[in-house]
């Protein structure tokens, strides 16, 4: 089985890495070895595997997740999407799924709304968790000052508001539009993901 086949086999939750695999591979390949990739909410590693396939040698992927099956009803979602019973701690499954890939992957287990970042500049930011105000603002406050000039942001649930009603599903879009000076739209990927280039500047919260 090829590494691409292995990546394809990693379970995801409906709009995961497999839906936009070529997008993830392509933009991962553009990250300079002096920069890092940040992968928010990779679950069992679907997005991370495709990023690993595309990343240049020496590029580190930093994955952030609770890896807690009791959060966000993951047990029920797992039964629905891939007929699997999950253990409580998902991090060992994530690490096992990524083991065959020749990539540096650093895990950060915990609530992303409480994270801080003081690491290298971020060349690619993949965000697949939380589009409401609390999640969006916490992530932008933690990471945006460390985006490299021209960094790419893949917002996996950006168009969720098209099928889900309520402010919680539309806040990310409104935040981006309010800060249009900082986010240059590049493309739509799959059903609900959007890709932006970071143009910098102070953000309005």
Would you report the helix, strand and coil content of the chain in percent, each value rounded to 5? 40, 25, 40
CB 204 within 8 Å of CB 179: yes
- pLDDT at residue 114, rounded to an integer: 96
Question: Which CATH number is associated with domain 3-198?
Answer: 3.40.50.150
Count of beta carbons in the 10 Å neighbourhood of residue 182: 20
pLDDT tens for each residue of 23-73? 999 999 999 999 999 999 999 999 999 999 999 999 999 999 999 888 777
Domain residue limits, the chain = 3-198
Task: Tell me if the pTM is above 0.75.
Answer: yes
User: For 43-182, where are the E strands, in sequence order?
Assistant: 60-65, 104-109, 122-127, 147-155
């Amino acid at each position: 089985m090829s590494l691409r086949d292995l990546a394809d086999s990693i379970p995801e939750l409906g709009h995961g890495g497999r839906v936009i695999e070529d997008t993830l591979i392509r933009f991962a390949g553009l990250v300079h070895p002096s920069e890092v990739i940040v992968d928010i909410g990779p679950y069992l590693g679907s997005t991370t595997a495709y990023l690993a396939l595309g990343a240049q040698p020496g590029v580190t992927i930093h994955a952030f997740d609770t890896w807690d099956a009791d959060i966000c009803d993951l047990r029920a979602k797992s039964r629905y999407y891939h007929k699997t019973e999950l253990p409580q701690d998902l991090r060992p499954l994530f690490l096992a799924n990524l083991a065959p890939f020749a990539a540096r992957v650093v895990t950060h287990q915990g609530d992303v709304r409480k994270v801080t970042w003081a690491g290298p500049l971020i060349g690619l930011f993949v965000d697949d968790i939380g589009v409401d105000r609390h999640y969006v603002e916490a992530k932008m406050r933690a990471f945006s000052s460390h985006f490299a000039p021209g960094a790419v942001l893949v917002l996996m649930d950006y168009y969720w508001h098209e099928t889900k009603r309520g402010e919680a599903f539309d806040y990310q879009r409104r935040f981006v539009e309010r800060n249009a000076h900082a986010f240059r739209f590049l493309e739509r990927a799959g059903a609900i993901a959007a890709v932006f280039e970071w143009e910098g500047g102070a953000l309005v919260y």
